[in-house]
Amino acid sequence: MSSFKVISDKNVAPTEVANLMASVGWGKETNYNAAEIERSLSAYPIIAYCRDSDGVLVGYISAFTDGAFSTFVGELVVRPSHQHRGIGSSLLAHVVEKCRGVPIYATPFQETEAFFLERGFRMPKRLMSVVSMRNAA
């Protein structure tokens, strides 16, 4: 297992985020708007990421927190070529440490639920549903 340093700042270029998202199949790089990514980076109080030895963005996490009642993981993305090396675990552990004592919620895709469960997350006794809406611009 390789060791990657978790960096907790917002020095990530929108093009890097778009490239990382595309690497996991979340659309094409050209589908992402740089201004929207900048707005996302500004809005999240917690941003952390990992780079490889060449400086390429290989992992990214974002989270909203009120510091008291709830923290929500926004995105947790690891480049497929770098998965299963502890990067996602390290990024998630960073959020858990920053939000100690505050409940943390994540809405993973079904095929990634085990990742969260193996790291101490639990399924609620009463299942929750995820609902969403994208307002027209």
Q: What are the helix and strand counts (H, E) for the chain? A: 4, 4
The reply to whether 7 falls in a domain is no
The answer to whether residues 45 and 76 touch, using CB atoms and an 8 Å cutoff, is no
51-98 per-position pLDDT tens digit: 999 999 999 999 999 999 999 999 999 999 999 999 999 999 999 999
The pLDDT assigned to 127 comes to 84
The reply to whether 64 falls in a domain is yes
The reply to whether 137 falls in a domain is no
The reply to whether 96 falls in a domain is yes
The reply to whether 103 falls in a domain is yes
What is the arithmetic mean of pLDDT over 24-34? 95
Q: What is the CATH number of the domain that holds 92?
A: 3.40.630.30
Mean pLDDT of the chain: 94
Write out the residue range of the structural domain in which residue 102 sits.
14-117
The reply to whether 128 falls in a domain is no
Q: Total structural domains in the chain?
A: 1
**HEC secondary structure over 47-109:** EEEEECCCCCEEEEEEEEECCCCCEEEEEEEECHHHCCCCHHHHHHHHHHHHCCCCCEECCCC
What is the arithmetic mean of pLDDT over 41-60? 97
The reply to whether 127 falls in a domain is no
The reply to whether 1 falls in a domain is no
